[in-house]
Amino acid sequence: MRRILVLTHTGRREAVGIAIAACEKLKEAGLSPVMRADEAAQIRAYPHSGFLSVEVLGRDVQLDDIELGMVLGGDGTILRTAELVRGSDVPLLGVNLGHVGFLAESDKADLDSTVTAILNRDYTVEERMTIDVQVWFDGARRAHTWALNEAAVEKADRERMIEVVVEVDGSPISTFGCDGVVMATPTGSTAYAFSSGGPIVWPEVQALVMAPISAHALFARPLVVAPESTLAVEVLTRTEARGVLWCDGRRMVDLPAGSRVEVTRSDHPVRLARLTRTPFANRLVRKFQLPISGWRGPAETAANAATTALPVVGPVNVVEPPRNLEPLLRDEFFGPEPVQNEQGETR
């Protein structure tokens, strides 16, 4: 039996209705829907939810028995689900019920075609880099966590910015006061780092991004470094301002002055299922509704371009630089050049 894990945002009535419909369509296709026990109970508690027939993860089946995770919701729901499947071979297929939904692959209107693609295994799987995050204080490691999108060091108090020093591969780059610093993966470059003025990095690019948030400094530019690099942010003790670390907006660690946050590439990626091979540039334009009117496309290639018997060469204007200006300039500014007579006297 092929089992599909269905996860959704049970706090939204629309998401609950779509989850019930998805489970019914999966069963009609001969697939077995699986849900977490708490989510299945919350869905059954909704009035008019009908009869929900699913297997329960951890009771009826284990994670290793799951072929694919079908996530109904926005990017937040996908990030929550990534906590569950990270470290396994289960890929996640997102059905967007949110707003931008950069991690999602299809929309709720495409639910039928999505189930068909799952049935036919008509999808590809790509691995997305995650980051390993460690927090150090007083020479001891106080926390160890991870992130798919970003690890953000932020100020803990609204009325006071934090003083930090940023570091790459053991070398300090700069110190400044700021609202925070975002350390992101290519996947996270379209999330918090993007809002902080960081660059958009194509998912295929292996790199790490560091982007300051509202830094009070002349040099506070985003940095893009090698995936093998180590990024670090230290909360300086020159003030009493405290910081806080947020990973994917879900896991939080307090950062007293003197704390150090280190970020490296993790050995455990998250696997995402893709239904199409749409270029990332097209996804970027569609998700952000970017204007592209006036685009004419690339020029014709040499193989397809029309040819003529003789090469067509346009007129060429040759501009010669002025010459022999030295005597003119000397006469103008210094008078005539001195001349010696036969007796060696200068006139």
Spot the catalytic one: 38, 60, 65, 75. 75
CB 93 within 8 A of CB 70: yes
CB atoms closer than 10 angstroms to residue 225: 15
CA dihedral 222, 227, 230, 232 (to 10 degrees): 30
Which three-class secondary structure state does DSSP give residue 43?
Answer: helix
Nearest in space to 5 (alpha carbons), one of 51, 56, 75: 56
Element (H, E) at 67: strand 66-73
The amino acid sitting at 242 is R
3-state secondary structure of 262: strand
Q: Is residue 64 annotated as part of the catalytic site, yes or no?
A: no
For β-strands 131-137 and 140-147, DSSP reports them as antiparallel
DSSP state letter for 176: E
Residue with tokens 């072929």: 67
Residues designated as active site: 75
